[in-house]
Structure 1
Amino acid sequence: MATLIQLIPEASRVRTVASVSVFGVPWPIHKLAAVVVGFVAAVLAFWFTGSGNAAMWASAAAVVVVWWGGYRIGGSRWDDGERDFIAEHRSHC
Structure 2
Amino acid sequence: AKVKGLPLTATNIRNNLRAVANPPGEVIMPGEFKKAFDLLRKGKKINYEGAAGSVDFDKNGDVVTPIEVWKFSKGGMVTVRVEHLF
Shorter-normalised TM-score: what interval? under 0.3
Structure ID, larger Rg: 1
Structure in which a larger fraction of residues adopt helix: 1
Structure in which a larger fraction of residues adopt strand: 2
TM-score normalised according to structure 2 size: 0.24
Higher relative contact order (CA 8 A, sep 6+): 1
TM-score normalised according to structure 1 size: 0.23
